[in-house]
């Protein structure tokens, strides 16, 4: 059996895939003070559902927010930075670009390293200009040890090309301070751009001791229960061993959201959607990514909490708009939502855990999008009166009726999520109208139709087990290792012999680090015209010639920028190799329900009260719905507005389609005809 456990800000989700590929799920409250407690609670809950034993689990995959939370909150280990003499302030100087153009006093985050030490060395791209002598390195390490750091980040000039000075310091630090974590920039990043490489190494060093302690605690709990050592989801969407994750915590800063992307891609593929916008709305945040031609977009440059991290990651855009996002009135009298969240404790007011501040979930409940009698994970029940009590003071301060205020809360939250979807589509030249919207997370299905209408998207896919889809992605994920090296080859230096040698060296390193069997290797090249500031990524499999690289680069450049400069010289900047295993298979068509309990409920939409169909439980394959309807599924709720129909496919996915028609009469006629004719999309 395969087990995936994902920790969110409100709930911790577990998914178990049995030997037949069937999916079993469980959901418990997160334990923010020690995530490992909630993880093991979720494991026990899902195993109890199937009567399974801990030793039946063949693989245990985990998505964690430990590194992300520590980075955003600044609660990091005591860290020392060793940089080339004269370059100690590189992280503080940054690139001298203001984070916000018109906020002149908005300062970037301070460096994470509390101590900085200068290495008496100077490396150039072609070799050493000033060698680091062993006696000088030993004296430097003694000075660092006197500061009693928990972690040391070493980022020297041009170490991506000549790492010998970093390797010397790493060896000496390990001997002098064996309990101190060491991050070496050439080993972690391996690419040029001094500021980004140094920032990534500093983040890695500052977070690794914290993640290491957490993973050791989790491993101890898991092993005492008879489970295997957990594997950890990386930002790249692949799994790493607990040892590697603890050694390089910066690889996991998008651990949680990355899990859902793999499962969302599976859902889109099964539904026949090659292009999709993925929309994951949980209790604390909303994560958006793009699937183009069946592939998830990736990036090697991310900024988290104002700090650049130059490591492979799925291209995910996150905003602070979730079900637990708090609604408030600003000093100018405007209604605002988020980014503060009620989290797991106390949670939204309607959870009955002592929360008093109004949230998006409270607004959804008050407007009828959530069914008050639908049980929640962890034995929670929804309290409509508590939601109204929380929203009323805010409504009074805005001089609105309580229901008007609730609708305003939803519209503002949806505008924030809409902006995130546009960042990943319109702002990148992608027409969202040709995409399906894959909505998941506990709250994704509640707002998917409104977002799709704003983007003129006709098809929305709400998977079965939407509320635990990230955990499903973890359970079926494959191990992955990424290595990279900046080579800076142009002209005669970019020969077939040199290209093959660089590829072979990276492939050998990737295979050495990859602990699973039978990996597939993907080689990519980052290229640019000589004089350009940034590169374009393209596939560069073994056997590719320099002429092939140029041809592919010009094709990608023409696609991205509309032209190719065939007379200019090109430069191969960086090579990357990804070694990955095979994603596990899963049968989502099994375990379909015989039919949910249904009835009616009252909803409020655009200020008017309407009667809607209400469904409680899973929907059987072949069922067709016509809006307005509310579907309270096992771990999520879907809201189907007027003007929408939905069909349940064989995999349990609710495929929602927007009906066309300029008037309410036309739309009503279309809804009536939809009862007797299939909807094709």
- Whichever domain contains 514, its CATH number is 3.30.1490
**Per-residue confidence band for 368, with pLDDT thresholds at 50, 70 and 90:** very high
**Domain final residue, candidates 526, 550, 580:** 580
Residues 609 and 571 placed together within one structural domain of the fold: no
| 3-state SS, residue 13 | strand
Residue 466 in any domain: the answer is no
**Domain final residue, candidates 369, 393, 412:** 412
Q: Residue 71: name the closest of 250, 286, 264 by CA.
A: 250
Q: Which residue has the higher pLDDT, 442 or 87?
A: 87
Residues 504 and 552 placed together within one structural domain of the fold: yes
Give the model's pLDDT for residue 105: 82
Give the model's pLDDT for residue 96: 78
Residue 271 in any domain: the answer is no
| 3-state SS, residue 538 | strand
Residues 564 and 601 placed together within one structural domain of the fold: no
Q: Where are the alpha helices (DSSP H) in 398-443?
A: 402-423
CA–CA distance from 192 to each of 132, 188, 200, 302 (Å)? 20, 12, 12, 15
Would residue 89 be called left, alpha or beta, if left means φ above 0 and alpha means ψ between -120 and 50 degrees? alpha
| CB-CB neighbours of 447 under 10 Å | 25
Give the model's pLDDT for residue 677: 32
Q: Where are the alpha helices (DSSP H) in 51-163?
A: 66-73, 90-93, 134-146
Tens-place pLDDT, residues 242-274: 999 999 999 999 898 899 999 999 999 999 999
Residues 207 and 81 placed together within one structural domain of the fold: yes
Residue 185 in any domain: the answer is yes
Residues 202 and 115 placed together within one structural domain of the fold: yes
Looking up residue 202, the CATH number of its domain turns out to be 3.40.50
Tens-place pLDDT, residues 513-532: 998 888 999 999 999 999 99
pLDDT at 670 over 70: no
**Domain final residue, candidates 533, 551, 580:** 580
Q: Going by C-beta distance under 8 Å and a sequence separation of 6 or more, which residues neighbour residue 98?
A: 104, 106
Residue 374 in any domain: the answer is yes
Question: Regarding beta strands 459-462 and 436-440, do their DSSP bridges make them parallel or antiparallel, or are they unpaired?
Answer: parallel
Q: Going by C-beta distance under 8 Å and a sequence separation of 6 or more, which residues neighbour residue 540?
A: 503, 523, 524, 525, 548, 549, 552, 575
Residues 611 and 569 placed together within one structural domain of the fold: no
Number of structural domains, the chain? 4
Token duo for residue 8: 């969110």
Q: Which residue has the tokens 């350009």?
A: 532
Q: What is the mean pLDDT of residues 662-671?
A: 40
**Per-residue confidence band for 74, with pLDDT thresholds at 50, 70 and 90:** confident
Q: What is the mean pLDDT of residues 305-331?
A: 91
Q: Which of 338-342, 389-393, 571-575 has the lowest mean pLDDT?
A: 338-342
Q: Where are the alpha helices (DSSP H) in 226-249?
A: 242-247
Q: 249: part of which helix (H) or strand (E)?
A: none
DSSP class of residue 76 equals -
Q: Residue 675: name the closest of 631, 624, 640 by CA.
A: 624
Tens-place pLDDT, residues 488-507: 999 999 999 999 999 999 99
Q: Average pLDDT over the chain, rounded to whole?
A: 91
Residues 87 and 171 placed together within one structural domain of the fold: yes
Residue 493 in any domain: the answer is yes
Residues 608 and 562 placed together within one structural domain of the fold: no
Q: What is the mean pLDDT of residues 66-89?
A: 93
DSSP class of residue 566 equals T
Residues 404 and 487 placed together within one structural domain of the fold: no
Residue 642 in any domain: the answer is yes
Query: How many H helices and E strands in the chain?
Result: 17, 35
CB 234 within 8 A of CB 251: yes
d(CA 224, CA 347): 31
Residue 587 in any domain: the answer is no
pLDDT at 386 over 50: yes
DSSP class of residue 74 equals T
Token duo for residue 309: 């991290």
Residue 517 in any domain: the answer is yes
Q: 437: part of which helix (H) or strand (E)?
A: strand 436-440
Residues 390 and 346 placed together within one structural domain of the fold: yes
Residues 84 and 175 placed together within one structural domain of the fold: yes
pLDDT at 138 over 90: yes
Residues 90 and 202 placed together within one structural domain of the fold: yes
Q: What is the 3-state secondary structure (H, E, C) of 54-69?
A: HHHCCEEEEECCHHHH
CB 267 within 8 A of CB 461: yes
pTM value? 0.89
Q: Going by C-beta distance under 8 Å and a sequence separation of 6 or more, which residues neighbour residue 512?
A: none
Give the model's pLDDT for residue 21: 85
Which domain does 157 fall in, by range? 75-211
Q: Is the peptide bond before 628 cis (omega within 30 degrees of 0)?
A: yes
Token duo for residue 194: 């001094």
Tens-place pLDDT, residues 614-639: 998 888 889 999 989 999 988 889 99
Token duo for residue 367: 């407007």
């Amino acid at each position: 059996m395969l087990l995936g456990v994902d920790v969110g800000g409100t709930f911790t989700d577990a998914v178990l895939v049995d030997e037949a590929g069937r999916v079993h799920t469980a959901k418990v409250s997160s334990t923010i003070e020690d995530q490992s407690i909630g993880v093991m609670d979720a494991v026990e809950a899902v195993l109890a559902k199937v009567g399974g034993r801990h030793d039946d689990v063949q693989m245990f995959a985990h998505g964690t927010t430990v590194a992300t939370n520590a980075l955003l909150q600044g609660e990091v280990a005591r860290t020392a930075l060793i940089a080339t003499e004269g370059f100690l302030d590189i992280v503080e100087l940054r690139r001298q670009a203001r984070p916000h153009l018109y906020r002149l006093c908005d300062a970037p985050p301070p460096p994470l390293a509390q101590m900085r030490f200068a290495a008496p060395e100077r490396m150039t791209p072609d070799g050493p200009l000033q060698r680091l002598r062993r006696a000088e390195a030993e004296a430097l390490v003694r000075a660092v040890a006197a500061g009693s750091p928990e972690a040391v980040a070493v980022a020297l000039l041009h170490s991506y090309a000549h790492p010998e000075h970093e390797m010397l310091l790493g060896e000496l630090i390990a001997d002098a301070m064996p309990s101190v974590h060491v991050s070496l920039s050439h080993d972690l990043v391996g690419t040029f751009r001094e500021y980004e490489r140094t920032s990534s190494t500093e983040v890695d060093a500052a977070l690794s001791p914290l993640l290491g302690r957490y993973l050791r605690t989790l491993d101890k709990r898991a092993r005492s229960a008879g489970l295997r050592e957990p594997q950890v989801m990386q930002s790249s969407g692949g799994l790493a061993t607990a040892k590697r994750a603890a050694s390089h915590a910066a690889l996991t800063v998008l651990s949680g959201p990355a899990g859902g992307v793999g499962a969302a891609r599976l859902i889109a593929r099964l539904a026949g959607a090659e292009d999709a916008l993925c929309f994951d709305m949980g209790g604390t945040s909303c994560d958006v990514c793009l699937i183009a031609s069946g592939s998830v977009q990736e990036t090697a440059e991310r900024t988290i909490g104002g700090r650049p991290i130059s490591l492979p990651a799925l291209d995910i855009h996150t905003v602070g708009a979730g079900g637990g996002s708090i609604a408030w009135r600003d000093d100018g009298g405007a209604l605002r939502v988020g980014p503060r969240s009620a989290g797991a404790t106390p949670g939204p007011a309607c959870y009955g855990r002592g929360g008093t501040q109004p949230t998006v979930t409270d607004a959804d409940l008050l407007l009828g999008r959530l069914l008050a009698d639908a049980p929640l994970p962890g034995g929670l029940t929804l309290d409509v009166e508590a939601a109204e009590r929380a929203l009323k003071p805010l409504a009074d301060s805005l001089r609105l009726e309580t229901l008007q205020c609730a609708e305003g809360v939803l519209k503002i939250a949806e505008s924030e999520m809409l902006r995130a979807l546009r960042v990943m589509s319109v702002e990148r030249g992608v027409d969202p109208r040709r995409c399906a919207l894959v909505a998941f997370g506990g709250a994704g299905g509640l707002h998917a139709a409104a977002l799709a209408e704003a983007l003129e998207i006709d098809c929305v896919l709400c998977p079965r087990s939407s509320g635990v889809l990230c955990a499903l992605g973890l359970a079926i994920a494959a191990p992955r290792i990424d290595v990279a090296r900046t080579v800076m080859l142009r002209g005669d230096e970019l020969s077939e012999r040199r290209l093959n040698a660089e590829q072979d060296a990276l492939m050998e390193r990737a295979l050495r680090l990859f602990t699973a069997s039978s990996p597939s290797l993907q080689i990519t090249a980052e290229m640019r015209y000589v004089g350009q500031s940034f590169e374009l990524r393209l596939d560069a499999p073994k056997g590719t010639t320099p002429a092939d690289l140029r041809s592919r680069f010009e094709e990608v450049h023409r696609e991205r920028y509309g032209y190719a400069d065939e007379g200019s010289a090109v430069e191969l900047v960086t090579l990357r190799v990804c070694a990955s295993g095979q994603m596990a298979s899963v049968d989502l068509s099994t375990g379909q329900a015989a039919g949910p309990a249904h009835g009616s409920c009252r909803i409020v939409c655009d200020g008017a009260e309407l009667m809607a169909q209400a469904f409680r439980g899973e929907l059987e394959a072949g069922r067709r719905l016509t809006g307005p309807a509310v579907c309270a599924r096992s771990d999520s709720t879907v809201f189907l507005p007027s003007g929408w129909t939905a069909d349940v496919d064989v995999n349990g996915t609710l495929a929602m389609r927007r009906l066309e028609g300029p008037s309410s009469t036309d739309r009503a006629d279309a809804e009536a005809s939809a009862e007797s004719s299939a909807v094709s999309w």
